[in-house]
Structure 1
């Protein structure tokens, strides 16, 4: 998948294309529906499939201090979008200069001249242009003027036990994550919620208790769910190199190959979020104990955490022994949920 950050990076003569626009935060099932339909439309007519998205989120400019916490970081968003089969994504830097374009200026400059769109795929609630003045009716009118068709995708969730249907949305997912309901959020996302970040050094208290944890840096990407303990997965995305490892890699030694294999392994984990009230902690942390592994050195590595199910809320314990007993119970519960055998 091609990734562009500016119109000038689009190759001359690119297109024709089938295009969609949106923030795509979380790349949930509603987004997947739009992107999947767009890819299918493009292949049917021999065109390129392109999504136009934005970084930072527009709310950071228009509503500073009230912008929503992003469900996914840019890297994960693009990775998930690529899985839908897209040919290209334009990640437009969202600035005041960009925001002040009229709906027609945006369509003419980006969709018509830049991407040579023959079809624009949108949801019912599409908004674009200065002060979100453009809506579905605007897009339909501009399509007639500039010669592209507009396809509207319904992104309601499938019928459940009741007749009420709620639209798949990033807002709904944020509500669920804020309540710790990660399994329910996964139903809308189509996969477990994930965070990505670099492992940093903590106070090593987990190791002292027999449960060494990987602590994510405070600038990790992805929305932090509610405080509590979760069953989930840890994957080492990239490994911090050391002089010894670099030499081994250059000489093709087996240790480097083994490290590469392990880096791609999805490991079962019990994930804790909170301030560690038993020890009067003040800093909110996200830390993961890889079940049955005390030999891992993950410091400075980039890891991906996936949240499968909440086991319990964060609690204050009266003694370290009570804490350890509960942590053992947490690990046992995580094993069952993740279908991991005891050693």
Structure 2
């Protein structure tokens, strides 16, 4: 899959396109993307997703509090695995938001992306102040020689999933619902950095995960069963998201993973942590001994979950 961020690059091969932020690339998105890819193959076109970054709300509403399910790299990896040909990431700016609908169609879709087919939802709006709709797009298609395939309300409603619902589920710690809507395990990508070493002192050494993208959504504080691939081998473990209230007065959030049957040093490694199941809330215990006892119980619960739910 090719990733394009250039403002100037034009496509020589004719394209089939769908447009959107596609945060989470959930099962509803996947239905549209599958249709796009299959249509493109049949018609000898490149399958292209036109997406935007930063998220329009960050620019138009100055909403820096919005957190996204995927980082750009995560989104790209998921789309590549689905078989997409090209991911075109358009920088979303105030200037871009002021483009008229016809300028967007003629300058971006036609002249730059060489569009011959657009697959889009019935409720799609675009152009300055989002005043143009699907009917306008169909009219532009007749004018500029491209076809518009409309995804009906019924087709979209058949999959009652949205990025907003997934964000809410993650913030509530409902990883089961989030994963079922995503069609894959929610993931955190980060690098392993040195922590305070408190885990070693109580028999549960942890890898401290640092996530660089401040816009990445972090689920509700608590303890989760997780997996990660390290040196081409899958390891399972339990992860705490929170502030370690029993052993620390620090209010800064940390993400720490204790891997089972793993003793290697992985400082500096980039890891993808997949969240499989949520065990419990983060709790402040009366003593370190009480915390150690709970961690032993968490490990038993984690392994029991893995035994019953993960492929052998």
1:170 & 1:122 partners in 2: Cα distance?
A: 17
Provide the residue aligned with 1:182 in structure 2.
175
The 5 A counterparts of 1:1-343 are: 1-11=1-11, 14-65=12-63, 67-153=65-151, 154-158=155-159, 167-220=160-213, 222-236=216-230, 262=231, 264-279=232-247, 280-293=249-262, 295-339=263-307
Provide the residue aligned with 1:252 in structure 2.
none
Cα contact 1:232–1:338 (8 A) shared by 2? no
Of 70-79 and 121-130, deviating more is 121-130
Equivalenced residues, count: 304
**C-alpha displacement of 1:115:** 1.8
2:259 & 2:213 partners in 1: Cα distance?
A: 18
* TM-score (normalizing by structure 2): 0.92
**C-alpha displacement of 1:7:** 4.2
**C-alpha displacement of 1:265:** 2.2
Cα contact 1:20–1:122 (8 A) shared by 2? yes
Provide the residue aligned with 1:249 in structure 2.
none
2:135 & 2:237 partners in 1: Cα distance?
A: 48
Of 217-226 and 45-54, deviating more is 217-226
Cα contact 2:241–2:255 (8 A) shared by 1? yes
Q: Structure 1 segments of 4 or more deviating over 6 A?
A: none
1:30 & 1:105 partners in 2: Cα distance?
A: 29
* TM-score (normalizing by structure 1): 0.84
Provide the residue aligned with 1:259 in structure 2.
none
- Compared CA separation, residues 59 and 137, structure 1 to 2 (3 A): same
The alignment partner of 1:155 has SS state of: helix
Cα RMSD after superposing both structures: 1.8
The alignment partner of 1:109 has SS state of: helix
Q: Deviations over 1:241-273 (max 9, x none)?
A: xxxxxxxxxxxxxxxxxxxxx2x3221120101
Q: Deviations over 1:75-107 (max 9, x none)?
A: 010111111211111111112222211111111
For structure 2, list consecutive stretches of 5 or more residues without a partner in the other structure: none
- Compared CA separation, residues 296 and 9, structure 1 to 2 (3 A): farther
1:211 & 1:123 partners in 2: Cα distance?
A: 49
The alignment partner of 1:107 has SS state of: helix
The alignment partner of 1:316 has SS state of: coil
The alignment partner of 2:187 has SS state of: strand
